[in-house]
């Protein structure tokens, strides 16, 4: 008796077992990926960061809102040994995988790129911030919109 014959009742059994193993493995992989993604977006994430030659730091930080507004994106900067300043970017933003930065030492400007387009410029000497998004009115501020409390750091976000 040949159990591997296609008309034998046990012939389909190895295929069913293999299908169940693949289905269970796929389900476990999807649950693990979802759990890792949730852990990844749970806290604030620095999606772009640059340090000017004078030591001024500039960061774009994204925080998950856990509601239909998805993410809040903010910009922070500080001069060496100074307080952190905050600028508004978007409170209903989509996920940023990461941004790209460019430090122009001649213009003394940091540019932040999102999807290949400049969306923010920051002149570190004058502390002038420009929001250049195409889906939002352009905004310009000189000096922080808000100073963070003394001792505040990005790790506290």
* Position 4 in a domain: no
Do 68 and 126 fall into the same domain?
A: yes
Q: Per residue in 61-115, pLDDT tens?
A: 999 988 878 899 999 999 998 999 999 999 889 898 889 999 999 999 999 999 9
Positive or negative, the CA dihedral 131, 127, 111, 44 is: negative
Do 110 and 135 fall into the same domain?
A: yes
Do 144 and 101 fall into the same domain?
A: yes
Do 125 and 55 fall into the same domain?
A: yes
Do 83 and 118 fall into the same domain?
A: yes
Question: What total of structural domains would you count in the chain?
Answer: 2
Q: Are strands 57-64 and 128-131 parallel, antiparallel or unpaired?
A: unpaired
Do 96 and 119 fall into the same domain?
A: yes
156, pLDDT greater than 60: no
Q: What are the φ/ψ torsions at residue 22 (nearest 5 degrees)?
A: -65, -45
Structure confidence at residue 4 as a pLDDT band (50, 70, 90): low
- Domain span at residue 33 reads 9-42
Distance CA 83, CA 147 (A): 7
Structure confidence at residue 6 as a pLDDT band (50, 70, 90): low
Do 69 and 117 fall into the same domain?
A: yes
* Position 67 in a domain: yes
Q: What are the φ/ψ torsions at residue 113 (nearest 5 degrees)?
A: -110, 140
């Amino acid at each position: 008796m040949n159990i591997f014959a296609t008309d034998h009742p046990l012939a389909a059994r190895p295929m069913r077992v293999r299908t169940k193993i693949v289905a269970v493995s796929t389900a476990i992989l999807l649950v693990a990926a979802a759990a890792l993604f949730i852990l990844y977006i749970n806290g604030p994430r620095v999606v772009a960061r640059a340090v000017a030659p004078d030591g001024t730091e500039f960061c774009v930080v994204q925080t998950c809102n856990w509601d239909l507004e998805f993410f809040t994106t903010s910009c922070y900067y500080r001069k060496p040994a100074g307080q952190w300043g905050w600028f508004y970017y978007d409170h209903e933003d989509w996920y940023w995988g990461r941004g790209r930065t460019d430090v122009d030492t001649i213009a003394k400007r940091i540019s932040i790129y999102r999807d290949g387009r400049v969306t923010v410029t920051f002149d570190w000497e004058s502390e002038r911030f420009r929001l250049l998004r195409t889906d939002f009115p352009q905004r310009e501020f000189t000096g922080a919109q808000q100073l963070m409390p003394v001792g505040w750091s990005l790790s506290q976000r």
